[in-house]
Amino acid sequence: MAKKKSKTSLYDSAEYLDSREAINAYMEEALETDDPAFIAKALGTIARARGMSQIAKKAGLSRESLYKALSTEGNPEFATIIRVMQALGLKLSITATQAH
Write the pLDDT tens digit of every residue in 57-94: 999 999 999 999 998 888 899 999 999 999 999 998 88
pLDDT of residue 1: 60
For residue 2, pLDDT over 80 is answered with: no
Burial of 44 (0-12, 13-18, 19+ CB in 10 A): buried
Average pLDDT, the chain: 90
The answer to whether the beta carbons of residues 63 and 53 sit under 8 Å apart is yes
Q: CA nearest 44: which of 89, 13, 10, 79?
A: 13
